[in-house]
Structure 1
Amino acid sequence: MRKCFRRPHFTAAAVAAIAILALPACSSGANEPQANPAPHTPAHWDYDAEGPDHWADLDRDFLVCQRGHQQSPIDLASRIRLSPRDHITIEYAPVPSVELVNNGHTVQANLPAGNGNRILVDATPFELVQFHFHLPSEHTVDGVGTTMELHLVHKSAAGALAVLGVLLQARPGASPFAAVLGAAPAQAEAAITVAGPVDPRAFLPTDPDQFRYQGSLTTPPCSEGVSWTVLRTPVGVAAAEADRYRELFPHSNRPTQPLHERTVTLAGK
């Protein structure tokens, strides 16, 4: 005898329930919560084993150190002498104190926000946020460097950077950098407060001639778009102060980089 089977009847609700149960247990749908990726920690870099020639190999964020076309520092040579109106305007005054830090790469002095020190670059104001040193100098003039170099780093309200570079030449006697270089912490990541007044005007030469060009940070990540002004006339730094800095950082400079298609201008009297 042939057996007869009735086809089961499912309601619409039952069909929907079966479809839900058939879905994969681990969905990658857009609405599923995603784990937050771990924050990227920049790679360690230095001026020796992991020096400037290898910075781009250390971290993807450092690739512009090798591939960029507006890198700093550069060799400065006299170009077209411009009129004084092409100078940047420097408006400095004493500050009560600075925080002095050994950051493992250099000696850096941090200024409090709203300190009133600024430069005007093409009418845009940039506030002085910190200054630090390199040994030997990073910029050269006609291929010749100096004992050290001071970088005064400024930031605009929009976050753009402008750096004022001062070449320092070792000389006998005291210098305006004694209070800072003489107090530099010997241990990396150590910080102290240097009581002032600290007057950035004392760090500048009387000769206003200045080189101007577009460049980058001289340390990783070597970000470009930095407005550079380097004063042509060196300022004296005491030989003993330079020697003490050298004990902490035997060398802390990046070699000069290709100019590519950039123009360097010399604004003078």
Structure 2
Amino acid sequence: MSVLGSASPVRSVVNRRSALVALALLAVAGCGGSVVAGEPHWDYDAEGPDHWADLDRGYATCRAGHAQSPIALDSPTEIHPTDHIEVDYRPVSAVTLLNNGHTIQASVPAESGNAIVVDGTRFTLTQFHFHLPSEHTVDGDEAAMELHLVHTAPSGRLAVLAVLLRAADDPTPLSRVLAASPAHPGRTEAVAAVDPREFLPVDLAQFRYQGSLTTPPCTEGVEWTVLRHSTAVSVTDIDNYRAMFPHSNRPTQPRYGRPVVLAGGN
């Protein structure tokens, strides 16, 4: 008799529930790379991006994939002024910040109603996190940091809205989040009254392309939207983040002829 055949109904339910939880963790982790017990250790240094594919067979796409992110946004292949995504953001009563060992990640309750609409599909905002310096470049220039707002569709597909962050002297709407960031891996902190709309520039002109997660397992099929115009992050917040994560960015990846659409703001 096989192990599956001998399993009790209760155990089968538990196994199915565990599998669903694992899938949900992957979706919520997005490109933030949450630390999951039992996964191979990776980082941005000794076990950095050039070695991710060597760490585990499940990370092979990090090297073999032909639709990897981030990319250099130097020359869009198409310009569609009206082909932008729709952003439907509103205030959130509270978010939970987690230092996951790779970045600061904020979990957003699905019931908050925050979402983007990409080509008619609604993606719900599940989390946002940061990279330093930026992962995407525009016309060869990198920004001080990059904010990734990760969204999930009912089908499980992911869409990321990326915001390039430039250094500024004064506090910004991001300061309340970054100032509350837990300094030690595994620690969490709650921040009340967060409005993701305040993290975006006024002009929502955007680059759109098909890419991947920017951390292992580098899963492809991710809808990427990178806002062309940056928004501000304070020098103090940059320095505090850098003290926890000296650098947390994957280098730009080959484009392999993928089209990049430049769409106008709204």
TM value normalised by structure 2: 0.85
CA distance in 2, matches of 1:49, 1:222: 18
Gaps of 5+ in 2: 8-18, 20-36
Match for 1:236: what amino acid?
A
Contact 1:92/1:118 (CA < 8 Å) preserved in 2? yes
Aligned-pair distance for 1:32?
5.0
> Which one has the largest radius of gyration?
1
**Which residue of 2 is the match for residue 54 of structure 1?**
51
Q: 2:81 is matched with which residue: 58, 83, 86?
A: 83
Out of 250, 255, 266, the position equivalent to 1:254 is: 250
CA 83–185 in structure 1, closer or farther in 2 if over 3 Å, else same: same
Distance 1:32 1:69 in 2: 39
Q: Which residue of 2 aligns with 1:21?
A: none
Q: Which runs of 5+ in 1 are unaligned?
A: 1-30
Matched, 1:179 2:180: no
- Matched residue type, 1:65: C
Aligned equivalent of 2:197, options 187, 201, 210: 201
Q: Deviations over 1:199-240 (max 9, x none)?
A: 000000011210000000000000000000000001010000
Q: Which residue pairs with 1:217 in the alignment?
A: 213
> Does residue 135 in structure 1 map to residue 116 in structure 2?
no
Choose between structure 1 and 2: higher helix proportion. 2
Query: Is this contact kept in 2: 1:42–1:61, CA < 8 A?
Result: no
CA contact (8 A) 1:103 1:188 kept: yes
Distance in 1 between residues matched to 2:179 and 2:232, nearest whole Å: 15
Supply the distance in 2 between the matched residues of 1:234 and 1:113 (Cα, whole angstroms): 26
Aligned position for 1:191: 188
**Counterpart code for 1:82:** H
Q: Out of 59, 68, 73, which is 2:70 matched to?
A: 73
**Is contact 1:73-1:218 (8 Å) kept?**
yes
Distance 1:49 1:158, change over 3 A: same
RMSD (Å), alpha carbons: 1.6
Q: CA deviation at 1:33?
A: 4.4
Q: State how many pairs are aligned.
A: 235
Q: Does 1:170 align with 2:167?
A: yes
Give the superposition deviation at 1:83: 2.2
Q: 8 Å contact 2:81–2:262 — kept in the other structure? A: no
Distance 2:161 2:95 in 1: 18
Partners of 1:242 and 1:156 in 2: CA distance:
31
Cα distance in 1 between the residues matched to 2:109 and 2:243:
28
Per-residue Cα deviation, 1:143-164 (whole angstroms, up to 9, x for no partner): 1100000000000011100000
SS at match of 1:114: helix
Partner of 2:103 in structure 1?
Answer: 106
User: What is the match of residue 233 of structure 1?
Assistant: 229
Q: Percent identity?
A: 58
User: How big is each residue's C-alpha offset from its partner over 1:103-135, in whole Å with a ceiling of 9 and x where there is no partner?
Assistant: 000000001122100000001000000000000
